[in-house]
Amino acid sequence: MRLRAAAVSDVGAHRATNQDAAFTASWGAAVADGVGGGPAGDLASAAFVHRLAAGPLEGIHAEQLADSIRSANWDLRLHVQRDPALHGMATTFTGLFVSRDGELLLAHTGDSRAYLLRSGVLSQQSRDDSLVQALIDQGLVSPEDAASHPRRNVITASLSGAEHDEATVAAHDHQAGDRWLLCSDGLTDYVPEADVRRILLDHRAVEDAAAACVTLALDAGTRDNVTVVVADVVASDLEPADAGAVTGATRYYGAAAERFMEGLESA
């Protein structure tokens, strides 16, 4: 099993800096969103993504993935130790990885999201670590009202280099034709899930689907950066004509493409 994945990241019309970062590879893909209101969100997301993608992640176990996330989080701490002005910088993280056990591992913290399109049905696979989600869980806010809640961007978990930081890691099965979407809230805060589903169904190529989602968010007036990763689950034994579509090369997007381009390679 491998991923055929592509991403598009756009700073948007209302932000001076893109604080989103993403990467894609045949063995994994992820999106990270620097926490707004804190210092150097672009550095936080880019540093975390590069440090994680540089690790030995191909064919990883769940415990090894958790350790790799922990190590990448510690790298954020080192940045703060070198420059105390960066204290408070943090990032969300949502990533999908091919497991050695033939499963897909979904790692998540914050409010960037993961969706699975299977047999035409789009379902959210991640749970927002956010104040509004907590209010929904307590029955104080309805899911319908959550999208317009004034504090919908307040998150309750992120990665900042702190000892207590963590991401949930969950195993998922896979079926032929599965398509995954990973995205920052610049998409989900402005585009209804029904419209996202339509785009994922209408565009066969992952590159086209990711670009169409970003375009729709921009047309909807998103006031945030917007980053979309689309990943199709494909068989490892591809025909030669398809082999080029699923390579091991790691590609970076958003802040990760603008920072730290020292030629890091995944082991």
pLDDT tens across 2-38, in order?
Answer: 999 999 999 999 999 999 999 999 999 999 999 976 6
**Residue 261 pLDDT class (50, 70, 90 cuts):** low
At 241 the pLDDT is 42
Q: Report which of residues 61 and 136 the model is more confident about.
A: 61
pTM over 0.85, yes/no = yes
pLDDT above 90: residue 153: no
Q: Which CATH number fits domain 2-126+154-258: 3.60.40.10, 3.40.1710.10, 3.20.80.10, 3.30.450.40?
A: 3.60.40.10
Mean pLDDT score across all residues of the chain: 88
Kindly state the percentage of the chain with pLDDT values over 70: 85
Q: Report which of residues 198 and 87 the model is more confident about.
A: 198
pLDDT mean over 109-137:
89
Q: Report which of residues 59 and 178 the model is more confident about.
A: 178
Q: Which three-class secondary structure string do you get for the chain?
A: CEEEEEEEEECCCCCCCCCEEEEEECCEEEEEEECCCCCCHHHHHHHHHHHHHCCCCCCECHHHHHHHHHHHHHHHHHHHHHCHHHCCCCECEEEEEEECCCCEEEEEECCCEEEEEECCEEEECCCCCEHHHHHHHCCCCCHHHHCCCCCCCCECCCECCCCCCCCEEEEECCCCCCEEEEECHHHHCCCCHHHHHHHHHHCCCHHHHHHHHHHHHHHCCCCCCEEEEEEEEECCCCCHHHHHHCCCCCEEEEHHHHCCCCCCCCC
pLDDT mean over 61-80:
94
